[in-house]
Amino acid sequence: DWEKEAQLLNLNMITLTHLTKLYLPKMVDQKRGYILNIASTAAFQPGPLMSTYFASKAYVLSFSEALHNEVKSFGIKVSTLCPPATATSFFVNAEMVDSTLAKRKKMPTAREVAEYGYKSMLKGKSVAVYGFINKIMAASAGFTPRSLAVKVARKMIE
What string of H, E and C letters represents the secondary structure of 35-80?
A: EEEECCHHHHCCCCCCHHHHHHHHHHHHHHHHHHHHHHHHCEEEEE
* Total Cβ atoms within 10 A of residue 111: 10
Eight-state DSSP code of residue 11: I
Catalytic residue, chosen from 23, 53, 116, 130, is 53
What is the torsion angle, in degrees rounded to the nearest 10, for the CA atoms of residue 43, residue 117, residue 66 and residue 94? 30
Distance, CA of 2 to CA of 9 (rounded, Å): 10
Per the annotation, the verdict on 53 as an active-site residue is yes
Decide if 5 contacts 51 (C-beta within 8 A). Answer: no
Residues annotated as catalytic are 53
